[in-house]
Structures are given as C-alpha cells and as structure tokens.
Chains A and B, each alone.
Chain A
C-alpha cells in the first residue's frame, strides 16, 4: 500500500522565483491538504483540496495556490518567493468520508529560498 509521496525532496530557489511542489496521496484517499512547517515550529495549514477544488484555506497570501487533478494528486505553487517561504512543505492525504479521522503525511519537500 503506497503511502503519501512528495517531490522533489529538496529545492533551492532565489527570491522572486516561482516553485511547484507535487504530492500523490495514499492509495484510496481523495482529499489532500498542504502544510508549511518553519524551522522549530509546528506545521501551519495552507489549504485543502477535494474534488479538484480548494475547500478550506489557512492564513496564507494569494501567492500560494494549488491544484488537484482527477487522480487526486495535487500541486502547491508559490509565486514571488520570499526568504520567509523557506520551510518544510508537507502534504497530507485523507478520506472525505472520514473528515475528522487521520491525515497521513508525506516526507515533505524542503524549500530553501536564497
């Protein structure tokens, strides 16, 4: 049973650039959530996708956008990168029918903005 996978594992960008991170959910899951984890902090909710639409959004600017594909995989896009966007970006998948149940996390993509 394949778990949540993310790519790439590491990424280095410069300020002002754009980045796309990718996530494949656990087999059978239909909902994908994205979190940002700054160094030494707990993960912060960015947004959640279900049925190819953004369903919930945390307190992040519009520079952060996403997409969900028909196969439930998802992308996180960040435009006009700032130094403060350096963080571990975590993807989590779950099943809509069990909304309050467990979210399963991928290993994350570590983004460094120089």
Chain B
C-alpha cells in the first residue's frame, strides 16, 4: 500500500528562518498530495495541496511542489513565525488519506 515518510523532527528554528520539511511517498499511480497542520489540542487543518505532477501548492507563505520523478512533496517557507509552531503532516490521497508520522516545528522569537 501507499506510504509516506517525513523528515524526522522535532525541528527548532528562530523567527524569520527558512523552513524545509522533507516528504517522500510511495504509491501506485499518481495520488493527490497534501500538507495538513495540527495545532495543540486541535484537529487537522489543510495547509496546501497539489493534484498532479509539477503542480505547486501554496498558502500563508508555505509552498510545496509535486515532484513525480523524485516522489517528493517537500514543504518550504521563506520566513517562519512563532505562530507557525505546530505539527505538520504530509499525506497522499486516492480518496483515503495516508499520512506520514508528522514533524513537530517549534519557532522561537
């Protein structure tokens, strides 16, 4: 079945630093790809998505590009804020979502 591997955390950055969280997947075919974010004590919120190869998803300064050749969907942000501190999940979907294990991001002032 499908699987998703995320960069191990936790990741700790200073405010305004550059962020990369790596995500690679194995899948038969070409699933849609997602990044979700989870704040403490809450459910998952969609951050961004891409539905086909070379698509770039973007939202709130975060970006990720669907790379079919490397089966990757790395999350990037040019300048993180304290409010970005959360757990980030990469996922694939053909209708059901398969998630990675999550990456904890902590941003210090």
Residues of A within 8 A of B (CB): 4, 33, 35, 40-45, 48, 56, 58, 90, 92, 99-108
Across chains A and B, the number of contacting residue pairs, with CB separation under 8 Å, is 57
Specify the main secondary structure of chain A where it touches its partner: loop
Residue of B nearest to A58 (CB): B96
The answer to whether A100 and B32 touch across the interface, beta carbons within 8 angstroms, is yes
Given A104-B46, A105-B43, A105-B44, A35 and B31 contact (CB-CB distance below 8 Å): no
Residues of B within 8 A of A (CB): 4, 31-32, 34, 36, 42-46, 49, 51, 89, 91, 93-102
Given A102-B46, A105-B43, A42 and B100 contact (CB-CB distance below 8 Å): yes
Most buried by A among B32, B44, B93: B44
The answer to whether A42 and B34 touch across the interface, beta carbons within 8 angstroms, is no
The answer to whether B93 and A107 touch across the interface, beta carbons within 8 angstroms, is no
Given A56-B95, A100-B95, A103-B97, A43 and B89 contact (CB-CB distance below 8 Å): yes
